[in-house]
Amino acid sequence: MKTLNKSHKLDNVCYDIRGPILDYAKKMEDEGHRILKLNIGNPAPFGFEAPEDILKDVIHHLPRSQGYSDAKGIYPARVAVMQYYQQKNIKNITVEDIIIGNGVSELIVMAMQGLLNNNDEVLIPSPDYPLWTAAVSLSSGKPVHYLCDESNAWQPDIADMRSKISDKTKAIVLINPNNPTGAVYTKELLGEIIELAREFGLAIISDEIYDKILYDDAQHHCIAAMATDIFFITLSGLSKNYRIAGFRAGWLMVSGNKGLAKNYIEGLNMLASMRMCANVPSQHAIQTALGGYQSINELISTGGRLKVQRDLACNMINAIDGLSCVVPQGALYCFVKVAAEKFNITNDELMVLDLLRQEKVLVVHGSGFNLREGCYFRLVFLPHIDELTPAIERIGNFFKHYKQV
Ligand code: PLP
């Protein structure tokens, strides 16, 4: 038998959130160590229960969910998504513009597979949610990273974005609210991005999976509502806002100047058909989720569990000598800056591995988010405060003595 190697398509594909350090943590667990995991934005295991109405609805529909659905998804789910965006003032959309997927992840890969030819370029934020970079590489495209500016609350640097546009650029990807930085983009900035897209004839692809997880006075603006002459893809789903990541329910919507993208949209529809349909029981959650009581609001408002945990995490991190983080305005993460020179750090992955070995706390290194400058790590503030507090205390202990050689 011939040896089997991974395909060259995977040569440049990297997804470090679930990479070798997680394997190492699993090995430590097998050896009996208890690891405090601040590495993955998966709300349910931390006691964030799904809204009961959603569970009831899925159970109610289960017996009738045995067959494939329409490839683009069940009708009520697509109507609910359409209405959700109509309420955000997106004009000229129909149920045909919506594809339901097995989470946003599947749709990100589908959107890139359908769009890119060899070396076509896509502008992606740095830092990013690394599936975006991975999906572009897998699709034989070239991810080109534009900087987000920590000194400006991690908003994208428009001058840098402009400087990265070439003849091969097809689209600008936005992650808003952002993972890993927690930035929520201002309306003015989104307007500037629209201007750029207009000037260079680019599509805008906006990943808005955290659009309801906002703190303080942050307001989310859906960029697709801000212009009709540009082609937009908007992605979101139930994993975070409704705490049901395991259900794998997400959606993709095309809007704006769809005439420009007729052929691409046909390609997307074909890719949706090739995988038959998304998981049907979970599609039944979408209408109830979007239409019903929004219990996330209780978690993010003053005194709400997520807000309390965010405040605690930021305060504790900012009190540690050599660490700092911009207070996130959305999502579930603190993106922590480490004063690399103070600790002699040249390798952030080794830093995170050392933290795991010494203090049994698992976080993700900044370069895993395609950030090449500076030293950072991302921590998830989902654990209850009685677990979050000791976890960050251990991080503090680690940095009291840490020196990389
Ligand atoms: N997009 C962003 C920005 C994310 O942070 C995540 C998950 O962490 C996803 C997409 C994937 O979400 P899903 O569970 O819908 O596949």
Q: Where are the domains of the chain?
A: 8-49+298-401, 52-291
Distance CA 311, CA 303 (A): 10
Q: Are strands 333-338 and 142-149 parallel, antiparallel or unpaired?
A: unpaired
- Is residue 209 within 6 Å of ligand 1 at its C-beta? yes
- Is residue 179 within 6 Å of ligand 1 at its C-beta? yes
CA-CA-CA-CA dihedral for 267, 269, 270, 274, to nearest 10:
140
- Give the residue among 277, 248, 270 at the shortest CA–CA distance from 68: 277
Distance CA 216, CA 195 (A): 29
What is the reported pTM? 0.96
- Ligand 1 centroid – CA 236 distance (Å): 8
User: Which tokens belong to 208?
Assistant: 């808005």
ipTM (interface predicted TM): 0.99
- Give the residue among 161, 180, 153 at the shortest CA–CA distance from 16: 180
CATH of domain 52-291: 3.40.640.10
User: Which tokens belong to 282?
Assistant: 């979970």
- Ligand 1 centroid – CA 103 distance (Å): 7
Evaluate the CA torsion angle 207, 212, 217, 221 in order and state its sign.
positive
N- to C-terminal Cα separation, the chain: 45
- Ligand 1 centroid – CA 248 distance (Å): 10
User: Which tokens belong to 341?
Assistant: 């020179």
Q: Which atom of ligand 1 is nearest to the CA of 331?
A: 5
Radius of gyration of the chain (CA): 21
Per-residue pLDDT in tens (0 to 9) along the chain, 405 residues = 899 999 888 888 887 767 788 899 999 999 999 999 999 999 999 999 888 999 999 999 999 999 999 999 999 999 999 999 999 999 899 999 999 999 999 999 999 999 999 999 999 999 999 999 999 999 999 999 999 999 999 999 999 999 999 999 999 999 999 999 999 999 999 999 999 999 999 999 999 999 999 999 999 999 999 999 999 999 999 999 999 999 999 999 999 999 999 999 999 999 999 999 999 999 999 999 999 889 999 999 999 999 999 999 999 999 999 999 999 999 999 999 999 999 999 999 999 999 999 999 999 999 999 999 999 999 999 999 999 999 999 999 999 999 987
**Cα of 98 vs its chain's centroid, Å:** 19
- Is residue 129 within 6 Å of ligand 1 at its C-beta? yes
Distance CA 299, CA 210 (A): 13
Q: Which atom of ligand 1 is nearest to the CA of 40?
A: 8
Q: Which atom of ligand 1 is nearest to the CA of 210?
A: 3
- Give the residue among 186, 196, 267 at the shortest CA–CA distance from 230: 196
Distance CA 336, CA 327 (A): 10
8-49+298-401 CATH pick, 3.40.109.10, 3.90.1150.10, 2.60.120.10, 3.60.21.10? 3.90.1150.10
**Tokens 């599936």 found at:** 131
Distance CA 92, CA 228 (A): 9
Q: Which atom of ligand 1 is nearest to the CA of 17?
A: 8
Is the CB of residue 233 less than 8 Å from the CB of residue 205?
Answer: yes
